Amino acid sequence: MKTGYPVPAAPVEVELRFRNSRFIGAAGFAETVEAARQYIQAHRERFPDARHHVYAFAVGFGASVTCGMSDDGEPSGTAGRPVLTVVQGSGLGDTVVVVTRYFGGTKLGTGGLVKAYTETTQAAIALIERRDKVHTVTFTLQVPYPLHRACRQLFDECGVEVENELFGAGVEMAIRVAEQRIEEVGQRLRDASAGQLTIG
């Protein structure tokens, strides 16, 4: 069962030239709109002398996506929209792309701009290594010492991440569980502890 969606594993960058204009395409992971804006701003600061910093982002995945884009001074519809179209067609969630342009002295025309921004974005997206982002929920359990080892073993088998353990009268365990596995892990926990422990 699929429990997440693909997102960029690491930032990438590519550079293409169209009639002496330089197009630097950068793509990365942005889990929130604020993170996307920070990524865009970082590229503006890296290339402060560039004429345009066109961007598009898609935060979320599937039915719940927040998109944004900007032509950043290019003719309307020739830059931000083509970049966003490629991002939306990539199958990736939580993705931001910035295409920085240094003007090379020759105008590209509207068709040339669409081609340049589309192909630069496609080249950047093609370099992205993908990883699955899984929605998780954190739970805190009070585990008696006699059940601690069995719980650790169960969590290892189920791919549950143990974030923290505090040892006192018992063991307070903070665990992170994939949303789609909460019911399964809860049932196995009840079985392993003879009904003493559960989550969800």
What is the reported pLDDT for 120? Answer: 98
Residues of the chain with CATH 3.30.70.240: 135-192
Q: How many Cα neighbours within 13 Å face the side chain of 100?
A: 18
State the architecture of 135-192 in CATH terms: 2-Layer Sandwich (3.30)
Fold classification of 4-132 (topology level): Ribosomal Protein S5; domain 2 (3.30.230)
Rounded (10°) CA dihedral 136, 141, 144, 145: 50
What is the reported pLDDT for 119? Answer: 98
CA–CA dist 4, 27 (Å, integer): 20
Residues of the chain with CATH 3.30.230.30: 4-132
pLDDT by residue, tens only, the chain of 200 residues: 445 789 999 999 999 999 999 999 999 999 999 999 999 999 999 999 999 999 999 998 877 899 999 999 999 999 999 999 999 999 999 999 999 999 988 899 999 999 999 999 999 999 999 988 877 788 999 999 999 999 999 999 888 889 899 999 999 999 988 877 888 899 999 998 988 888 86
Asked if residue 158 lies in contact with residue 185, where contact means CB atoms within 8 angstroms, the answer is yes
CA–CA dist 179, 145 (Å, integer): 27
Phi, psi of 178 (to 5 degrees): -60, 135
Asked if residue 66 lies in contact with residue 33, where contact means CB atoms within 8 angstroms, the answer is yes
Question: Which among 86, 99, 25, 79 has a CA at the least distance from the CA of 58?
Answer: 86
Q: How many helices (H) and strands (E) does the chain have?
A: 5, 10
Q: Which two tokens stand for residue 49?
A: 């002398």
What is the reported pLDDT for 3? Answer: 56
